[in-house]
Structures are given as structure tokens and as C-alpha cells.
Chains A and B, each alone.
Chain A
């Protein structure tokens, strides 16, 4: 069932998080996250809504500041970087937003050109065109190049959002709910794309999701968040052997119902 076959290097840590804490007012969202993510690894982070999964990846990319703890990305402590160094680091991180976050006023081509023209100012028009076409081929949507985001389906928007991050050839991918709001067929396509990205671009990824099928098919390792920290980490099968009621509920909701439907 698991499609991830890429081997990852446990000697090379790309993201290291130590005792990370973050609160919003009186609400403690992250209460002590500790984890290392290795080169070439896909880590799926599971957890109930509001447990701070998205906050975690926003801290990793420097969109939010932690209250305490250390987050190192590619050996650099994110919170300590100046504006220029943070900008340089961000170019090595691809962030796929839950809402896709495509620029509404630009065509798909302009959306994809934008990060390139802003950050690689010495590229020729042909080099930019080639890069745009290549990345659109990679996500399987070359025909959408001149369409506006409003003309795309939810799944297409997700793919273009991923393509926009891939155009800078990131070393790390952060996916925020990549399959939320999509039909099952499109979910499978997105799952396949995440695995293809890992293989083709040799990325390390964090995949934030509620979708156990997505977690199972795209990740080498799963981490489950409870009460603001990782309750358990391990392979998908190891994690879901747990007797914890929340983890069982997650599993049963996704898979028992599915089996019952198949039997009927």
C-alpha cells in the first residue's frame, strides 16, 4: 500500500526541532515539540484540528516566531536569522498552502514565473519559459498554462501551488493539508504527486494531514500530535498499533468504514 520507497539518510538531519513551544494568548498550542527530519524523508504529521500542526510548519518557514525552543533548518536556527538570510533559506523550502494561495490576479504562467523572476534575476526569457513548462509537465497540467486560478478545479489549484514551489527546486517541502476538500480520485493523484516530488527532486517533506490514506501512502514516518506535542512517532503500522483512544479513533474513522463499505 505504501508507495514511498525512497531511502533516507538518518545521518543527515535537515530539520531539527528541540522543545518548541508556542502560545496564542492564553492558548498553549505547541507545548514541547521534539523531532528530527532526515534527508530524503517524508514525515506525515497527524492530529486533530487546532492542535497546532499548521503552526509548526509556519514556525519552520519563519512565518511565525516560537515562544521558546530551537528550530534548525539545514543547520540554520530560523529564529536567529536576519531578514536576508531568512529569505535565502526560504528559497530552499517549498510551502504548499492548504488554500493553494495562488495569486488570483495572475495566470498560471505568471504565478509560476513570479518566484523565478523575483529570485533569479539573471535568467533569460527562454530559461524562464522552459522552467515553467518543465514544472507544469511534472505536475501533469501543461494545458493550464494560460488559465486564471479561478478557472481551475480544487485539485488543479493544489497541483499548481506545488508546481510554484518546485520551480525554485527546494530541498524541503512543507505540505499543509494537501488533500483537504478534494474527492478521493484527486486525493490519490495528489498523494502520487507528493511521492513523485520526493523521488524526482530528492526532497525531505513534512506533510500535515488528517487523511490517513495520504499519511500512509506518502510518508516514511508518521508523528501524531496530542496536546501540543508528539505523542508517538514511527512507521504507519507501528503508530496505529497503539491502543490510545484518539489514535484508534483516527484509524477506525478512516479505515473501518471503508472496509465495511467494501464488504457490503
Chain B
């Protein structure tokens, strides 16, 4: 139990240091852009495939239930609510946690145990600002982009399915899909995205930056980065949904 509170304290200090370094100059714009590109490019293929399959499968599985009540025309609306409110943020976050979070944990962990971080420090570079702050900013601000993209691809998957089965036109599909979506849904998804991205960045960087015990420590850092991110993402998802529903 003692170590739990020590960890909470250490993570809190780590987050405070992030805010201190992120909002004080000199700013690492070039490295932030580089990290944003990496976050996006590493996740894009898997996010595209998952978004498309989610849209198609969710539409296929929902159709029989709605048909029983003669409500097949509600299909685009149902899919839009599910994808935009829940599936796109959650699925994207889990994929990014697995692909990017583990990569950050392993990369920083490897740099730590091979003294590359010390080398950076003694050559006059602030490694926390250059390695940690840039990665957390990148995951935080790329997550909304990826979630919007996943939502778009998911809806396109759903449209393909609906078009092939019901011959619904694209304008009719979009009109039906967005008839039940309000701005609060979009804001909630974006808020979730920022929260999930920050969590993935902090978990990956914290585990990697504090890795110990050689290659075993690198593996442990990568593993813990993913596991802790996923637990926290589920907790945040439930919490944010409760808050949004109480506002709605």
C-alpha cells in the first residue's frame, strides 16, 4: 500500500513537471511536430481498419433488432450515436495505447537504461522537455484528430453497409445519422479524446523515463505503459459518460 501512495506522489510530481516544462521556453515546436507525425502515422493504418470494421459490423448486427420493430430507417442514427459517443473515442484510445503508449514506454525506457537520457542532459539539453513534454503534447493533441478520423471512417463503413442493403443515398444517410447528434456529443468526445491522449502520454513517458534494470526494465515499462493506460481510459470513460449524462 505504501508503494501505491509513493507512485501516486511520483506521478503527481511528474505531471507538475510536465506543465512547468510545457509552458516555459524555449519551446520544442519542431520536436512536437515530429512526435505528432509519429503518433498519427503509427496509428493510422490500424485505426482506419478498426473504424471501418466497427462501422460495418455494428450496422450489420443492429439491423435485425431494429427490423423487428420496423425501425430500419433509424439504423444510421443508431450507428452515429454509438460511434460518435462511445465507440470511436474508446476504440481509438485503446489502439493508440497499444501502439503508441507501448512504443513511448519502450523507447524512453531503452534510452534510460543505455544512458542516452543522461548523455542528453550532460550535453546541455533538458531531456524532460525534449523527450517527455513533446510526447505528452503530441498524444494529447493528436488524439482528437484520430478520434474524429475513426468516427468518419466508422460512419463510412456503416454507409457502405446501409447502401448495399437498403440503397440509401449518401445525403439521406448523413441527414438521418446526424439527426440525433447534438453538439454536446461532439464536445464530450473531444474532451474524452484530450483526456485519453494525455493519459496515454503520461503513462508511457512516466514508465519509460523511470525504467530500471536493463532490458527487463524496458519490457516492463512498455507493458505497464499499455496496461495502466487502458485501466485509466476505462475509468475516465465511465466517469465522463456519467458527467455528460447528468448534464444532458
Tell me, yes or no, whether B169 is within 8 Å of chain A by CB. no
Tell me, yes or no, whether B71 is within 8 Å of chain A by CB. no
A105, B125: Cα distance in complex, Å = 17
Q: Within the complex, what minimum Cβ distance (angstroms) separates B33 from chain A? A: 16
Tell me, yes or no, whether B65 is within 8 Å of chain A by CB. no
Tell me, yes or no, whether B122 is within 8 Å of chain A by CB. yes
Tell me, yes or no, whether A93 is within 8 Å of chain B by CB. yes
| Given A101-B114, A101-B116, A104-B116: A95 and B122 interface contact (C-beta under 8 Å) | yes
Tell me, yes or no, whether A91 is within 8 Å of chain B by CB. yes
A62, B119: Cα distance in complex, Å = 12
Q: Which residues of A contact B166 (CB under 8 A)?
A: none
B contacts with A: majority SS: helix
Tell me, yes or no, whether B139 is within 8 Å of chain A by CB. no
Contact assessment for B124 and A103 in the assembled complex, using a CB-CB cutoff below 8 Å:
no
Q: Which residues of B contact A63 (CB under 8 A)?
A: 118, 121-122
Q: Which residues of A contact B122 (CB under 8 A)?
A: 61-63, 90, 93, 95
Q: Which residues of B contact A118 (CB under 8 A)?
A: 123-125
Question: Which of B110, B115, B118, B123 interacts with A114 by CB under 8 Å?
Answer: B123
Q: Which residues of A contact B110 (CB under 8 A)?
A: 104
A103, B121: Cα distance in complex, Å = 13
Q: Which residues of A contact B119 (CB under 8 A)?
A: 95, 97, 101-103, 164
Q: Which residues of A contact B111 (CB under 8 A)?
A: 103-104
Tell me, yes or no, whether A168 is within 8 Å of chain B by CB. yes
Q: Which residues of A contact B107 (CB under 8 A)?
A: 105
Residues 38-85 of A at the B interface (beta carbon under 8 Å): 58, 61-63
Q: Which of A95, A101, A103, A119 has the most CB of B within 10 A?
A: A101
Q: Type the 1/0 row for B205-229, where 1 means its CB is closer than 8 Å to any CB of A.
A: 0000000000000000000000000
Tell me, yes or no, whether A165 is within 8 Å of chain B by CB. yes
Tell me, yes or no, whether A99 is within 8 Å of chain B by CB. yes
Q: Which residues of A contact B118 (CB under 8 A)?
A: 58, 63, 95, 97, 101
Tell me, yes or no, whether A234 is within 8 Å of chain B by CB. no
Q: Within the complex, what minimum Cβ distance (angstroms) separates A145 from chain B? A: 19
Q: Within the complex, what minimum Cβ distance (angstroms) separates A180 from chain B? A: 13
Contact assessment for A90 and B124 in the assembled complex, using a CB-CB cutoff below 8 Å:
yes
A90, B121: Cα distance in complex, Å = 9
Q: Which residues of A contact B123 (CB under 8 A)?
A: 90-91, 95, 114-115, 118-119, 164-165, 168
| Given A95-B119, A97-B119, A101-B119: A115 and B124 interface contact (C-beta under 8 Å) | yes
| Given A99-B115, A104-B116: A119 and B121 interface contact (C-beta under 8 Å) | no
Which single residue of chain A is at the shortest CB-CB distance from B121? A63
Q: Which of B115, B121, B123 has the most CB of A within 10 A?
A: B123
Tell me, yes or no, whether A12 is within 8 Å of chain B by CB. no
Contact assessment for A97 and B124 in the assembled complex, using a CB-CB cutoff below 8 Å:
no
A115, B125: Cα distance in complex, Å = 8
Residues 218-243 of A at the B interface (beta carbon under 8 Å): none
A202, B124: Cα distance in complex, Å = 21
Which single residue of chain B is at the shortest CB-CB distance from A97? B115
Residues 114-141 of B at the A interface (beta carbon under 8 Å): 114-116, 118-126
Q: Which residues of B contact A114 (CB under 8 A)?
A: 123, 125
Q: Which residues of B contact A254 (CB under 8 A)?
A: none
A104, B126: Cα distance in complex, Å = 18
Q: Which residues of A contact B114 (CB under 8 A)?
A: 99, 101, 104
A63, B115: Cα distance in complex, Å = 11
Q: Within the complex, what minimum Cβ distance (angstroms) separates B155 from chain A? A: 37
Question: Which of A58, A98, A102, A119 interacts with B124 by CB under 8 Å?
Answer: A119
Which single residue of chain A is at the shortest CB-CB distance from B114? A99
Q: Which residues of A contact B126 (CB under 8 A)?
A: 87
Q: Which residues of B contact A91 (CB under 8 A)?
A: 123-124
A227, B118: Cα distance in complex, Å = 26
Pull 19 A–B residue pairs with CB atoms less than 8 Å apart, ordered by A. A62-B122, A63-B122, A87-B126, A90-B122, A90-B124, A91-B123, A95-B119, A95-B122, A98-B115, A99-B114, A101-B118, A102-B116, A103-B111, A103-B116, A104-B110, A114-B123, A114-B125, A115-B124, A118-B124
Residues of A participating in the B interface, judged by any CB pair closer than 8 Å: 58, 61-63, 87-88, 90-91, 93, 95, 97-99, 101-105, 114-115, 118-119, 164-165, 168
New A-B pairs, 10, CB < 8 Å, besides A63-B122, A91-B124, A95-B118:
A87-B124, A97-B115, A99-B114, A99-B115, A103-B120, A114-B125, A115-B123, A115-B124, A119-B123, A119-B125
Ordered nearest first, which 10 A-B pairs have the shortest CB separation? A101-B119, A115-B123, A101-B115, A95-B122, A119-B124, A97-B115, A118-B125, A91-B124, A101-B116, A87-B124
